[in-house]
Chains A and B, each alone.
Chain A
Amino acid sequence: MKFKLKIIHWLTLLWLLLIVFQHEVLFQYLSLWFGYAKLFFVDFSEAIDVLSLKLVNVILSLKLFVFLPALYIIFRKKWIFLQGNLNFSYALLSLLIWILIFAPIITDENPEFSKNLAVTKLLPPFSSVKILHLAGELESSQSEKEKFHMRLNQTVKPAFNERIIFADSVIVSESVVYFQKTQKSELQKNELLLKNGEPFIQNKYFLLGTDEYGRDSFARLIYGTRISLFVGFGAVVLSFIIGIILGFIAGYSGGIFDTVLNRFTELFLSFPVIYLIVLILALFGSSLFSVIIVLGISGWMTLFKIVRGEVVSIKQRDFLISAESIGLKKSQLLAKEILPVILAPVIVNLVFLFSNVILAEAALSYLGLGTGNLYPSWGAMINSGQEYIYKAWWMIAFPGAALILTLFAANSSGRRINKIINPRLDK
Chain B
Amino acid sequence: MLYSPKRTLKRLERPTPDRPDGAWSALGVGEKLSLVAVAVTVLVALVGPALMPYSAIIPSGEQLLPPLSPGHVLGTDVLGMDMATRLVAGMQRSLFAAVVVTLISAAIGTLIGVVAGFKGGWLDSALMRFTDLFLAFPAMIIAMAIAAAIGQSLGSAMVGIIVVWWPLYARLVRGEVRRAAALPHVQAARVAGVGGWKLLWRHVVPAVTPTVVVTASLDIGAVVMTLAALSFIGLGTPAPAPELGRMASDGMKYFLNAWWVAVLPSLAIGLLAFVFNYAGDALRVMLRRTGV
Partners in one complex: no
Point out residues on B near A: beta carbons under 8 Å: none
